[in-house]
Every structure is written in structure tokens, then in C-alpha cells.
Amino acid sequence: MKLPLEGIKVVELGTHVVVPNASRFLADWGAEVIKVEGLEGELWRIVGLQYSTPVTAEENPLFAEQNANKKFAAINLKTPEGIKIIKDLIADADIFMTNVRLNSLIKLGLDYESLESVNEKLIYAHLSGYGYEGPDAGRPGFDLATFWARTGTMCDWVSTGDFPFRPPGGFGDAATSVPFTAGVLAALYAREKTGKGTFVTSSLYASALWFNQVGIISAAPQYGNPYPKSKMSPANPFSHIYKCKDEEWLIVTITNYNTDYDKFCRVLGLEKYVGDPRYNNLKTVKDHIVEFVTILNDIFLQKDRDEWVKLFNAADIVCEKLLHSRDVSSDPQAWANGYFNEVTYPSGNKTAFPVVPVQFKDYKVEKFELPGTVGRDTKEILNKYGYTDADFDQLAAKRIVK
């Protein structure tokens, strides 16, 4: 085997990011992934309009990141013929992945109960917004609304009084795709033992709760850890963000404040505060937090960020520059480890695509095939399932496929 999932067939009926991202993992690891879209393509194909990136058939980097290395079929699922085609694909598949809302899947006859009889070995993986029960079960879920807004992060991941935190689109989706993929692979492993498929589900909301577990648990009424926090009152002054002389920012992260207090003061040139009982442990520093953070703010402004990085690295204290998004694609650390694929488009633009963040000793992912046009592979796929060229032409003429 050249890749660990060779021989696995996946049908994806996914939009936006979670499901396409999850099936991209499987595609990179050797599975044959057929992405089914409507005749006009899914809306993520034009999301680049919001982010100043191209959305053409030959250059569409935001769509390509989640959808490289797949095959693309454009099928009109509002027709009986289109439903028959996708059921033909699923009957031969190992995994069916979708985030279409449950009521719509039932109407199409593509719910788990309907497909289980078509393929008893099928791993059916469904992603919902909020889960299947409760007052919001039927609501659509989106990254910024469900993952971020609903779970305390937008309001609380800022300093007191600041405008709510707003991440780029797709971040929560990408995070959610990781446990979703893990569930699919666990089900696939179980099928090797039992010979039977199963239903796998997750939701944006469930994943967001999981990833914000520290904030949610500690802020509960019985513990009362307050959010948002003032930038002048961090829980740990040595695990905080500071502005440097060159107007750039640095984060330091010392987890054992009491033990490393003297060491940290010496790196900063604050020897006169070594052993100071007002500041040298987390219990007492809380009574003097604003004055101590003011001292630290002033000292960090005396050197450029890179100077501080050298000093902290020499002292084996964890720190990191707060880079700008525009700087990350040229980070030599990422390139040294092969964490980017670079693609040069006909326009001359070069795009650095983050790779699937897992490497195997004995399996190397070498392919990076861009998606191209809507329905690029429909004819080829249908030919493999017994549809002739004449059949395809008739279906295309009726706008059942593209």
C-alpha cells in the first residue's frame, strides 16, 4: 500500500468546511472521494469573494484547501434520476459523509435508515449544527454563529470592554472536522471486526463545547472564573501578552509562576524584584496585579520583540512572536517541515496551502490535485457505474448531471 486508506471509497455530500475538510483527510490518506455537488456547485466555491481571493475554475484557493485530491460529480438531487445516481454511488461506498439537514435527507431518501438497507457495511457520517434534540435541533449551524458565538468565545476571548473577537471563517469548522474524522475512522476500524457499518454523528455545537472546555468549566457559577478579563489583570502575569519597543507583540508562557518567578525577573533585568513577597507567588500578586503588570509592560517596551525572544530562548522560557497572518506563509519553520504545498497558478500567483497535519513514516502524501470546474469528473464516474456516454449525454441534456 502506498497510502493507508487505499481501496476505501467515500461519497461526500458536503458543503462549506467540516465535511469537505474531513473527507479531504481521507482523500490525502488514499481513499477515493467522490464529492457530489449541485449543478451550480456548492456555495464555498464563491466564499473567496469575502476574502479578496479568486473564485475562478482554475484559481480558487479557499475552495481548493478543503477539496483537493477528490473527484467531482455534479448531480441534480431534485430529480428521481439524480437520486438514483447518488444511491448507486453510495451502494458501492464504504463511507457516506454529509451535513445536509436531517429533514432534507429524509425527504430525499438519503437518511441512514433508508441507506442502511442499500449498503449494510456503510459508515454513514452526519454532521449537524446543534444535534438532534432540543429547541434548536432544526436550526442551520455555521462556524461563526454556532461554534463561536454560542459558546462564550466571541464575548470572552477579548479584554474587558473590547469589541467581540471575530475569527476568519472556517476556523471552528476545521477544528470540528478533526473529531468528526476520528469518529469515522473508529467506525471503519470497528467494521473490520464486525463486518457491519454504523451511524456516526457530531455537531458544530458539541465540538465547540469540547474545545472551550477550560473556559466553560471554570466560568460555571460554582467556580466563578470571570470572563472576559482585563488586560491588566491576567491570571498569570508570566503567561501573558506584551507589546515591545518595535510595536510588535510577544507572548510568554510560564505555567509554574511561583517556581520560576526569580528566573523570569532576572531575564527581564528586574533583579530588584527577585524574592519580592508582593509579587513572587500567584496568591499575593493578585492583590498587586495592576501595579506589577504595569512594571512588566514598561520593561517590555525597552527592547524590540526579537531581542526579547533571544533572551527568553536562552533562558529556556517558552515564548512566541504574535505573527500577522500575512507573515505565516513565509515562516521557515513551516517550510522546513513540509507543512505547506505551494501551487503556482496560470496567473502567476503562488499560494501556500497548509497540508493535512498528519505524517506517516511509511506512507507519503505526494498528490495535490486542484478541484477545477463543477462536475469535472461526472462523466468518468458514471462510466464506472455502468452509464454509457449516450446515457450521460441524455442526463446532461435534461440537467440531471453536469
Q: What's the rounded Cα separation, in Å, for the pair 3 and 365?
A: 7
Whether 173 is catalytic = yes
- The residue extents of the domains of the chain are 9-211+335-397, 239-243+249-321
CB-neighbour burial class of residue 17 (10 A; exposed 0-12, middle 13-18, buried 19+): buried
Classify residue 280 by its DSSP letter.
S
Give me the pLDDT at residue 291, please. 97
Show the low-confidence residues of the chain (pLDDT under 50). none
Q: Do 9-211+335-397 and 239-243+249-321 show the same overall fold?
A: no
Catalytic residue among 173, 298, 316, 377: 173
Pick the CATH number of 9-211+335-397 from 3.40.50.10540, 3.40.50.720, 3.30.360.10, 3.40.30.10: 3.40.50.10540
> Which amino acid is present at 140?
P
User: What's the pTM value of the predicted model, to 2 decimals?
Assistant: 0.94
Q: What is the CATH number of domain 239-243+249-321?
A: 3.30.1540.10
Through-space distance between the first and last CA atoms of the chain, rounded to whole angstroms: 33
Give me the pLDDT at residue 138, please. 87
Give the SS3 label for residue 33: strand
Residues 6+ apart with CB under 8 A from 99: 14, 15, 16, 18, 19, 126, 127, 128
Dump pLDDT digits (tens) for 60-96: 999 999 999 999 999 999 999 999 999 999 999 999 9
Give me the pLDDT at residue 1, please. 83
